[in-house]
Structure 1
Amino acid sequence: MSYSAEQNNAICVEFFETAWNTGVIREDLLSEDAIDHSQVGGKTVSEPGSGSFKHIVGMFRGGMPDAAISIEDAIFAADKVVHRWRLNGTDTQGIMGMPPSGKHISMTGTTTVRLADGKIAERWANVDELGLLQQLGVVPPPPGAH
């Protein structure tokens, strides 16, 4: 079966909103050998299947149990979907091995997904980690920033 670009976008929206807003990884929307090409804290997290997705979502939702994602822009054509998103939450448990800050965090990123046969086959994410670290107080803001 061939999926339209609109159907592929809907699959991605369902997968990522469910994962980030509830913590549930919809494995039925992932191909068995799906690859997540993510970098977190300078480390590449890439393994086939749902493991990488579970690790990344679990790490952030573990630190920010109220995490919620909103998709702010979507571009999709054929088998590719690109989302610009914002993740909001409160750092009550600590993120990326850092102690809890108690701060409200708002981080942004872009995710590119390739789908095959109506399932997520590959994912690449670019996340504003510098902005996250500045909000957590680990990295100072640039001079003159408010």
Structure 2
Amino acid sequence: MSAAQNQQAQERLGELLEQRAFDRFGEVWAEDVVDHDPAPGQAPGLAGIVDFWTEFTTAFPDLSLQPDPLVVAHEHITAVFTIRGTHSGPFQGHEPTGRTFEVRGIQVSKFRDGKIAERWGATDEKGLAAQLGLDGDSAGA
């Protein structure tokens, strides 16, 4: 697949996330995708990706993800993004706080046959926890 086709798949992922169309993630994620940085307890493969995003958008129903720079290098795409939301549902064992967050993250995807076959990523989890009051340091802040 060409870099342009991979970029189209990456952009399609953004559309599917926005639509909460997790049942269609197979359009852009390989069934056997390897997530090198899974969330705690995340199952392997496409099922784990779907479960993560289902849980995350349940906890943060107004979640928005804004990509900033996107770097395309044939089979790899690096996306830097800002993610925002309001903690309105259970999240990793924490009851909703009603607080909002805004953090930055990065994801590197390796494509095979026009789908994400491998994923590496990091999001400011400490910043997210602090903004939600889940880190112990900002309780009541």
TM range (shorter): 0.7 to 0.9
Aligned to 2:28: 29
Identity %: 24
Q: 2:12 aligns with which of 11, 14, 17?
A: 14
Structure holding more helix per residue: 2
Shift of 1:94: 2.9
Task: Give me the TM-score of the superposition, normalised by structure 2.
Answer: 0.86
Look up the SS of the partner of 1:39 in the other structure: coil
- 1:101 has 2:83 as partner: no
Post-superposition offset of 1:32: 2.5
Q: Which runs of 4+ in 1 moved over 4 A?
A: none
Please tell me whether residue 58 in structure 1 is matched to residue 54 in structure 2: yes
Alignment TM-score, normalising by the size of structure 1: 0.83
Q: Which runs of 5+ in 1 are unaligned?
A: 142-146
2 CA distance for matches of 1:17 and 1:107?
20
With 28-37 and 68-77 compared, the bigger mean Cα shift is at 28-37
- Structure 2, unaligned runs of 5 or more: none
Size of the alignment, in residue pairs?
136
